[in-house]
Amino acid sequence: MTHWDIRPVTAADLDAVYAIFAACISPCWKKETFAARLDHPCAVVLAAWQEGKPVGFADGECAFGLCELNNIAVLPQYRCRGAGNALLLALGRAAKQRDCVAIQLEVRQSNQAALAFYRENGFVQVGRRKNYYTAPTEDALLLDKHLQEEEKDDETAGD
Ligand SMILES: CC(C)(COP(=O)(O)OP(=O)(O)OC[C@H]1O[C@@H](n2cnc3c(N)ncnc32)[C@H](O)[C@@H]1OP(=O)(O)O)[C@@H](O)C(=O)NCCC(=O)NCCS
């Protein structure tokens, strides 16, 4: 099992983490928009490191007891090795420290890999936004995970 070093993204990591965003997520945000996340008081932006460089990241927004997962991505050559899982667990821990009770997110209904990943990580569908995405037009599925469920993962992590 690969060990993943999960750390908050700093200004020094911005170029490398933004390159992951640009390579994995479309449409990509402007770099200045993403850079502003690093200083936002509600943001939790984490990167997974391997071989001395960031290879994945997660960007969550914690406010009013909920953590909105804006983006999560892992470089293709590092996928299916647990990095996404490690990022979500770390985000959940950080969100609980900020008094959040759940993580919520939107995902394109055609993104079968992400849907499988989220379901494997305990998310359930709680809604749908018709034609939410453009280019191409597509529904968003709303998924939700209550953070108490993660306590089980945390408790067994050292077993
Ligand atoms: C979604 C994503 C972040 C998952 O990252 P990852 O590091 O590959 O995920 P993990 O290795 O931690 O996978 C955990 C579990 O999720 C499921 N899963 C992950 N990728 C999957 C895929 N392509 N197909 C089916 N199940 C998948 C598996 O059950 C996996 O557990 P297993 O390896 O023991 O079978 C990655 O595929 C990605 O970057 N996709 C492109 C960006 C994206 O679509 N982001 C989400 C929308 S913003």
Domain CATH number, residue 12: 3.40.630.30
pLDDT at 159: 38
Percent of the chain with pLDDT over 90: 89
Q: Measured from the CB, is residue 85 less than 6 Å from ligand 1? A: yes
Domain count, the chain: 1
Read off the pLDDT of each residue in 103-129 and give the average, rounded to a whole number: 97
Q: Among this protein's residues, is 118 annotated catalytic?
A: yes
Contact predicate 57/20, CB 8 Å: yes
DSSP 131-145: EEETTTTEEEEEEEE
Q: Among this protein's residues, is 78 annotated catalytic?
A: no
**Residue 35, token pair as written in the block:** 């850079």
Cα–Cα dist 142/123, whole Å: 10
Ligand 1 centroid to residue 30 C-alpha, Å: 24
Contacts of 91 (CB under 8 A, 6+ apart): 44, 46, 58, 60, 67, 69, 103
Tell me which residue range forms the domain holding 35. Answer: 5-156
pTM of the model: 0.93
Which residue's alpha carbon is at the smallest distance from atom 22 of ligand 1?
Answer: 113
Confidence of residue 151 (pLDDT cuts 50, 70, 90): low
Q: Measured from the CB, is residue 75 less than 6 Å from ligand 1? A: no
